[in-house]
Structure 1
Amino acid sequence: MCGRFKRKSDKQKVAKVFEVTAGIEELDFAPGDDLRPQSMQPIIYLNDDGERRIEMMRWGFKLPDRLLFNARSEGIVNANFWKDAFLAGRAIAPGDSIFEWKEMPKGQKKPKYEITVPGQEPFGMAAVWKLWKNPKTEQWERTFAILTGDPNELVAPIHPRMTTFIEPRDFAEYLAPSERPPVHLLRVLAAEKMHVELVGNSPITNAQVNLFDAQ
């Protein structure tokens, strides 16, 4: 899943990497080391003129009994809450790393891991957005969720879900309007493209992942 992430890139770098052509001048946002659900974050989507626009949106839908800040990639085209957003509200959330905590036996501290995609700074996380009425303010606002899927062999020993990344070559296709939503782009990113580091300790390599469960 994705419940915390870091964005060290400023708006100029984000605009350049994602080829944003609208919204950048009137927008201002700072890098963040611990970005959490319910915060306002920059999101990239296509506007009605077909331009890549960046806009601040709220991360997570606050329902009466839960907070929806992730959407499952599997079956999203049929999911009641998400299918319309995936059809007409696909977006990309820029980030530089995500954080996951490994489940441990009761009483043991959960180790924290930072996951990056070397060569993609910032990377693009698959997201969907839609208009949502904030129950606190009674105002309609643009709200987004980050897609997750099955983990690769590097992340699986840490967490049973993994952020769904969109490769740079696929940004245009993912954002473009389509009668057939591009579910084929919701792939599991190859482990060799990622780097995992135990926060506060030495880096973890692919060869070491089988040691996680012994900790």
Structure 2
Amino acid sequence: MCGRYKRRSDKQRIAETFAVATGLDETFFDPGDDFSPQSMQPVVYLNQNGERQIEMMRWAFKLPDRPRPLFNARSEGIEHAKFWKDAFLKGRCIVPADAIYEWQEVEKGKKKPKYEFVIPGQEPFGMAAVWKLWKNPKTELWERTFAVLTGEPNELMAPIHDRMTTFLEPRDYTEYLAPTERPPLHLLRILPSDKMRATLVGETSITNQQVSLFDSQ
């Protein structure tokens, strides 16, 4: 899964890495070491003019029949998933990041080891994602909201977590964003372990049982 990530690259570096053509002057964000779901984050997508645009979007969807926000979408079968298939066909996007965090499962009551995963030589890298329009019940405004795709873990991730962020190869950014009649499932590959590096960064507790901005009042 992807429940926390780091982005240290500034706007200019992200614009160069992802060949962003528009939205730079209107988009403001700061680097950070631990972004969590429900926050506003910069996302790269293809606008109606066919240009790569960067825009702030909210990370997570809230559905009426689910108690927690959805911030990940499974890559497997996404082309058939009732909620996700249209977004994967028409709303593919890329989320810039410099590292992701995962917590290893341990016995109940013990703190979970926290690991940082990076892709050496790719700072920032691109996480495959999808976006949809969603009406925020608190503001009554429509927002662009995104979820990060996940898949089976590689050998490096498997001892830590049973799901892994779906990373895109830089050569695949153009094809992933381009409009197509058939969804580009072949781009949702498992990144080989030898392209990643994991570092133990501490033992902490992680929870999504936080006060949700999606909760209606």
Please give the TM-score of this superposition, normalised by the length of structure 1.
0.92
1:109 aligns with 2:111: yes
CA RMSD of aligned residues (A): 1.0
* 2: CA distance, partners of 1:109 / 1:3: 17
Cα distance, 1:200 vs structure 2: 4.2
Cα distance, 1:107 vs structure 2: 2.1
**Structure 1 partner of 2:23:** 23
* 2: CA distance, partners of 1:79 / 1:17: 31
**Structure 1 partner of 2:35:** 35
**Structure 2 partner of 1:176:** 178
Change (3 A) 1:200 1:109: closer
Instruction: State the aligned residue count.
Output: 201
What secondary structure does 2:112 align onto?
A: coil
1:140 aligns with 2:142: yes
Which deviations, in whole Å up to 9, do the C-alpha atoms of 1:26-61 show, x marking residues without a partner? 211110111010000000000111100000000001
Gaps of 5+ in 1: 202-215
**Structure 1 partner of 2:14:** 14
Which deviations, in whole Å up to 9, do the C-alpha atoms of 1:96-119 show, x marking residues without a partner? 000000000112211000000001
> Which amino acid in 1 is paired with 2:61?
F
What secondary structure does 1:61 align onto?
A: coil
Gaps of 5+ in 2: 204-217
**Structure 2 partner of 1:121:** 123
* 2: CA distance, partners of 1:151 / 1:167: 16
> Which amino acid in 1 is paired with 2:12?
Q
**Structure 1 partner of 2:3:** 3
Runs of 4 or more consecutive aligned structure 1 residues displaced over 4 Å after TM superposition = none
**Structure 1 partner of 2:100:** 98
**Structure 1 partner of 2:79:** 77
What secondary structure does 1:181 align onto?
A: coil
